[in-house]
Amino acid sequence: MTEPQGTRLNIRPITLADYPQLADIMAKVYPDLGGAWSEATLAKLIRLFPAGQIAIVDHDHVVAVALTLCVKYDKYSIPHRYDEVINEKRIPGHNAKGDALYGLDVFVDPNYRGARLGRRLYEARKELCRDLNLRAILAGGRLPGYHKVADQMEVTDYIEAVGRKSIHDPILSFQLSNDFTVKRLMRGYLPEDTNSAGFATLLEWDNIFYERDDNSIAYESIKSQVRVGVVQWQMQHTHSVDDLLNQVEFFVDAMSDYRSDFALFPEFFSAPLMGLAPDLSAVEAMRFLAGFTKEICYRISQMAVSYNINIIAGSLPLIDNDQVYNVAYLCRRDGSVEEQRKIHITPSERRDWIISGGDRIQTFETDAGRVGILICYDVEFPELGRILAEQKIDILFVPFWTDTKNGYLRVRHCAQARAIENECYVVIGGSCGNLPRVDNVDIQYAQSAVFTPSDLFFPHDAIQSEAVANSEQLLFADLDIDKLQQLHFEGSVNNLRDRRHDLYRLKWFDDAE
């Protein structure tokens, strides 16, 4: 299946060539505050602190921007005015040896409102703060909603009401939801901001990983802490594809709220839709189900973008050249989509649904590590996991569907073996419940889990997290990718390094062979 046409988001540094698009957005967003900054001001920002000027682009079109400085914490963690940070003539706030970031501005193209791009830019700022080992992010937060109630309450009461969520302020509510705290009230921060009556809040986000080090600042680092979310999916009667996708979005929203980098759904999670045509034979029902795959994949891809989370969309049936395949889709949060077809088909899949096996295995690059996907039965073949391990995956995702406990234990034990022998994390996600109107998917058994290698750096039972068996729920786990690197070189045993290539090798035969 080709990737959906439409949104394709990417985060990158701003260049001066972006100015016309940036100015256009700024003019739309701030018509009452002077509109766009000058091109010369943007050029200064890029020259002084290129890493802090961040854009989200849809294909090649700038749709959201974050502008940031590096400052001295002691100077700007007390009340100040905006023109003491930046003004038309100069940028007095920037200090290349500063120990904090200062958020100058974040703005989003009005046509992209609702896609949570502002939140994504805030997360990018936080990662920059951690990467540079800076102590905090500071910002002056305008109060554009205050003018509506200024004749009814003091500004301090307004800030407290926003904190209690009894009043919504477009800027302060957003900043509080992104883990910023109000430290001070600043008067005369931006006098021309009449909607805020010149007031602003001094906001701070603390970097809990900050370590005082005056000798070095690293500008590049690889994401080392990855959060995965797993949906242990309840199979139940559904009325329509919209009904099913509403349930999917509920879980995606929840996992996004917990800042997950990945969301895993089970194999054939769309199976309840077969209940919409109960009189079809098993073969016909699977082909009927495949008719929904394009729409489901497209809409989940849109959720990945909107909720800023990479989604492994379980697996879905796909008809290609009149053959039915069992396909897992990786829907990245930049809008791109790739697929992994199930290689090994179980006897029941071949017999009841006439499903064919795929002929290609691959790894996937993501913004949270290199991953692989093996669908259910495939994880029971150690060759596939080893091929992926040779391509240096960090996490192996295994969407599965099993009907009995012994079937589930085959998947579980093999998944644990793949984690140990390949020195990677393995995440398995299955379904529970029953579908009495759907042949061959009538009962389920699952206990989703996240497995680790078995060594001193990891939990004693090599289980990072696991769900309660046969109960619909969300499972979360934080994975430390740096520990995998430590294991590769300092582990008690070295399963990958100690292989005897002088005696045996594993080879994938391509079409040419």
Indicate which residue of 342, 380, 423, 424 is catalytic.
Answer: 342
For 64, counting Cβ atoms within 10 Å of its Cβ (0-12 exposed, 13-18 middle, 19+ buried), the class is buried
The rounded distance, in Å, linking the Cα atoms of 283 and 64 is 47
Among this protein's residues, is 376 annotated catalytic? yes
Distances (CA, A) of 474 to 400, 447, 459, 468: 16, 11, 20, 10
| Cβ–Cβ < 8 Å for 342, 377 | yes
Phi-psi region of 314 (alpha: psi -120 to 50; beta: other; left: phi over 0): left
Among this protein's residues, is 342 annotated catalytic? yes
Looking at residue 30, the DSSP 8-state letter turns out to be -
For 65, counting Cβ atoms within 10 Å of its Cβ (0-12 exposed, 13-18 middle, 19+ buried), the class is buried
| Cβ–Cβ < 8 Å for 293, 239 | no
Name the nearest CA neighbour of 50 among 18, 85, 88. 18
| Cβ–Cβ < 8 Å for 52, 11 | no
The rounded distance, in Å, linking the Cα atoms of 191 and 319 is 62
> 10 Å Cβ neighbour count for 163?
15
- What one-letter code names the amino acid at 445? Y
Indicate which residue of 376, 414, 424, 432 is catalytic.
Answer: 376
Indicate which residue of 267, 380, 466, 472 is catalytic.
Answer: 267
Question: Would you say the C-alpha torsion 348, 353, 358, 364 has a positive or negative sign?
Answer: negative
Q: Residue 125 corresponds to which tokens in the numbers above? A: 């700022």
The percent of the chain in helix, strand and coil, each rounded to the nearest 5, is: 35, 25, 40
| Cβ–Cβ < 8 Å for 245, 500 | no
The rounded distance, in Å, linking the Cα atoms of 361 and 342 is 9
Residues assigned a catalytic role:
267, 342, 376
